[in-house]
Amino acid sequence: MTDALAAISAGADFLGFNFYLQGLRYIDPADCGQITSVLRKDFAHITLVGVFVNSPVEEVRAILETAHLDLAQLHGDESPQMLAALGGRAFKAFRGVPENITGLARSAAPALLVDAAVKGLYGGSGVVADWSAAAELSKRVPLLLAGGLTPENVAEAVRRVEPWGVDVASGVETSPGVKDSGKMKAFVQEVQAPFTNH
């Protein structure tokens, strides 16, 4: 709860909760539900997102309900059929920039997420994504940019890629899974910098 409140205080619009059992940032769905039930009352404008890696569609649906979440971010090898089965409540995260997004891009924003391609890892690697390729894709769809973003480089990433939004995990942590409120605040300020320094 402390991290969630610090992120909202810093100016985050979306909060992500990780349900990948092997992940460093895993949270139990019931624990998440306790947090989000409070957030729903006090911060109804915040979009709550569950992060999943190769979970069955029934499990994703159940956790979306249990944990009071708006959207599912699918960070594994999920199919277009699975996205369709979740009826607009999910978007696909890609490790690397996809060549073909047919059937894998959501019609609403965010259409998809672009992360760095790191062998054996489903995100949270701290490695910077391919900004040039992401910039080309962002001309076509409203994407979330992830991958190695920090308070030091996110303003440049926003200028170069012009994404719909940005996603951060390791870049605002003191150690894996431990968020730093100062880094979160600095990150959001830098995200806004390209728009306030005109």
Q: Is residue 155 part of a domain?
A: yes
171 near 187, Cβ under 8 Å? yes
Blockwise average pLDDT, block size 10, the chain, 198 residues: 95 96 93 96 96 97 97 95 95 92 93 86 74 96 96 96 96 92 96 76
Q: What stretch of H or E contains 10? A: helix 2-10
Query: How far apart are alpha carbons 40 and 44 in whole angstroms?
Result: 5
Rounded to two decimals, what is the model's pTM?
Answer: 0.93
Q: What is the CATH number of the domain that holds 122?
A: 3.20.20.70
Structure tokens given for 84? 């369709």
Question: Could you list the residue range(s) of the whole structural domain that residue 37 is in?
Answer: 2-193
**Greatest CA separation found in the chain?**
47
Alpha-carbon distance of 128 to 130, in angstroms, equals 7
Cα gap 49→101, rounded to integer Å: 21
Q: How many domains does the chain have?
A: 1
The answer to the question of residue 32 being in a domain is yes
Sheet with 14-18: strands ordered across:
14-18, 47-52, 71-74, 90-95, 112-115, 143-145, 165-166
Is 95 a domain residue?
A: yes
- Residue 53, domain member (yes or no): yes
pLDDT of 124: 60
Residue 198 placed within a domain: no
Residue 31 lies in a domain: yes
Please state whether beta strands 47-52 and 14-18 pair in parallel, antiparallel, or not at all (unpaired): parallel
Residue 88, domain member (yes or no): yes
Which pLDDT does position 119 carry in this prediction? 72
Check if the beta carbon of residue 92 is closer than 8 Å to that of residue 100. Answer: no
Q: Decide if 174 contacts 180 (C-beta within 8 A).
A: yes
Residue 39 covered by a domain: yes
